[in-house]
């Protein structure tokens, strides 16, 4: 790799570990600065579509994620009362199933183990407070007041990225008017693939994560003015939403929702960092550049792809600027297509939850179909 030899990645999530592994496989010295002292992964489960598995395969991890996760077919969609609507998701392609469900913690552990074996160094409990972003290198000051110089800095510290602010200045994500709830359960006896039910106030999905575990997600509209909810209200509100769905799997889990600390609640936000996502020797990837609402289940997949593609371009180019520019050509249009489609679906869902008509000509199936086609195309 001619462009870089020493890299700092800020943020040890899915995108950060993806790029660290991909670079380390090519002989680059990589450090990850992660603000957490130990991993306490935010989130419950994750849906991996074929493009996510394809990126993981390039990291040598797809087989292990499928082994520790739960490969399943296309998503079955129903009305709240159980009337079958149709299937969603691409059919299986080669070794890749339509989907793989997996615990976020399990995925992080798989990636962490791979990175450690490749020699990636983790600076836990550490992040960056200052950047000297030069044309030929980048010098950073860490929270322990030490300084170090790298060939490049890769910011992968999430939707509320502090590194993005240090590189580009203030940038605020946008709340989309809907929120998502998640809760993990023992796998239901009837769960053979993923299921989704559409209600008047919310939609719910059930995703297998392993042979004996699953998680539920529920999307609701909590109001644009104040989407934050007191933790003491989590359990009663979630049970109230589920009361709309008579399906056995929904009714069976209601008594199991008992612990507010196990409810994962998050207002859904999106961000669109303008092109380019880099300045001098610092670049932003993942949610910091293109956070997408989860209507297409692709946020983590796009971050995985970012890591693989960035490592490829750095390996091919003889300058960092050429590599970053080539990365943008491959990533910007693809990521924005998924971000825009996801936001459109979220906006339409909000209208439905509010009892308002959809825009004339709105075609949910067409938007989803086009987005799936984009995801299945090479990254």
Please report, for the domain that includes residue 245, its CATH number. 3.30.9.30
Which pLDDT score, from 0 to 100, does residue 294 have? 79
Identify whether 250 is preceded by a cis peptide bond (ω within 30 of 0). Answer: no
Last residue of a domain, one of 204, 235, 268: 268
What pLDDT, in 10s, does the model give residues 236-272?
999 999 999 999 999 999 999 999 999 999 888 888 8
Is residue 106 pLDDT above 80, yes or no? yes
What pLDDT, in 10s, does the model give residues 288-343?
999 888 777 788 999 999 999 999 999 999 999 999 999 999 999 999 999 999 88
Which pLDDT score, from 0 to 100, does residue 330 have? 97
Q: Which pLDDT band, with edges at 50, 70 and 90, does 130 fall under?
A: very high
Do 312 and 379 form a contact (C-beta atoms < 8 A)? Answer: no
Do 260 and 130 form a contact (C-beta atoms < 8 A)? Answer: no
State whether 42 and 144 are in the same domain.
yes
Which pLDDT score, from 0 to 100, does residue 172 have? 84
DSSP letter (8 states) at residue 194: -
Asked whether residue 332 is assigned to any structural domain, the reply reads yes
State whether 157 and 205 are in the same domain.
no
State whether 149 and 180 are in the same domain.
no
For strand 264-270 and strand 174-186, is the pairing parallel, antiparallel, or unpaired? antiparallel
> Can you tell me the distance from the alpha carbon of 31 to that of 16, in angstroms, rounded to the nearest whole number?
10
Q: Which pLDDT band, with edges at 50, 70 and 90, does 225 fall under?
A: low
Would you give the distance in Å from CA 235 to the centre of its chain? 25
Structure tokens at 321: 């600027």
Which pLDDT score, from 0 to 100, does residue 226 have? 65
State whether 62 and 163 are in the same domain.
yes
The number of folded domains in the chain is: 2
The secondary structure of 254-284 as a DSSP string is GGG---GGG-EEEEEEE--PPSP-EETTEEE
- Give the chain's radius of gyration (CA, Å): 21
> Can you tell me the distance from the alpha carbon of 106 to that of 121, in angstroms, rounded to the nearest whole number?
20
State whether 102 and 151 are in the same domain.
yes
**Where would I find the H helices in the chain?**
14-24, 50-58, 62-68, 104-117, 162-168, 234-242, 248-253, 287-290, 299-316, 320-353, 364-376
Q: Is 25 helix (H, G, I), strand (E, B) or coil?
A: coil
Asked whether residue 1 is assigned to any structural domain, the reply reads no
Q: Which pLDDT band, with edges at 50, 70 and 90, does 202 fall under?
A: very high
DSSP letter (8 states) at residue 314: H
Domain that holds residue 233: 174-268
Last residue of a domain, one of 201, 235, 268: 268
Is residue 146 pLDDT above 80, yes or no? yes
Count of H-run helices and E-run strands, the chain: 11, 19
Instruction: Give the residue-averaged pLDDT of 28-34.
Output: 97
State whether 210 and 222 are in the same domain.
yes
Do 182 and 257 form a contact (C-beta atoms < 8 A)? Answer: no
Do 175 and 182 form a contact (C-beta atoms < 8 A)? Answer: no
**Is the backbone of residue 37 left (phi > 0), alpha (psi -120 to 50) or beta?**
alpha
State whether 234 and 341 are in the same domain.
no
State whether 354 and 214 are in the same domain.
no
């Amino acid at each position: 790799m001619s462009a870089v030899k020493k890299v700092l990645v800020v943020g040890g999530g899915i995108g950060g570990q993806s790029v660290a592994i991909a670079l380390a496989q090519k002989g680059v010295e990589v450090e990850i600065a992660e603000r957490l002292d130990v991993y306490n992964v935010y989130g419950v489960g994750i849906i991996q579509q074929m493009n996510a598995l394809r990126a993981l395969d390039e990291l040598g991890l797809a087989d292990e994620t499928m082994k520790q996760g739960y490969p399943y077919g296309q998503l079955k969609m129903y009305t709240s009362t159980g009337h079958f609507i149709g299937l969603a998701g691409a059919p299986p392609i080669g070794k890749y199933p339509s989907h793989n469900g997996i615990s976020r913690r399990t995925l992080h552990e798989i990636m962490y183990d791979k990175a450690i074996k490749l020699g990636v160094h983790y600076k836990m409990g550490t992040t960056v407070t200052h950047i000297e972003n030069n044309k030929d290198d980048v010098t950073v000051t860490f929270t322990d007041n030490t300084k170090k110089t790298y060939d490049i800095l890769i910011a992968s510290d999430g939707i509320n990225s502090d590194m993005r602010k240090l590189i580009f200045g203030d940038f605020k994500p946008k709340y989309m008017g809907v929120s998502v709830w998640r809760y993990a359960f023992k796998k239901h006896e009837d769960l053979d693939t993923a299921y989704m039910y559409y209600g008047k106030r919310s939609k719910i999905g059930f995703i297998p994560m392993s042979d004996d575990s699953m998680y539920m997600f529920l999307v609701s509209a909590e109001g644009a003015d104040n989407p934050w909810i007191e933790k003491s209200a989590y359990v009663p509100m979630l049970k109230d939403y589920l009361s709309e769905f008579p399906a056995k799997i929904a009714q069976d889990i209601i008594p199991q929702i008992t612990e507010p600390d196990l409810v994962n609640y998050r207002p859904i936000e999106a961000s669109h960092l303008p092109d380019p996502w880099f300045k001098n020797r610092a670049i932003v990837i993942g949610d910091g550049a293109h956070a997408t609402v989860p209507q297409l289940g692709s946020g983590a997949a796009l971050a995985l792809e970012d890591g693989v593609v960035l490592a490829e371009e750095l390996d091919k180019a003889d300058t960092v600027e050429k590599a970053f520019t080539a990365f943008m050509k491959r990533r910007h249009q693809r990521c924005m297509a998924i971000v825009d489609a996801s936001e459109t679906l979220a906006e339409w869902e909000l209208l439905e939850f509010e009892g308002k008509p959809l825009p004339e000509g709105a075609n949910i199936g067409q938007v989803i179909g086009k987005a799936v086609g984009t995801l299945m195309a090479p990254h």
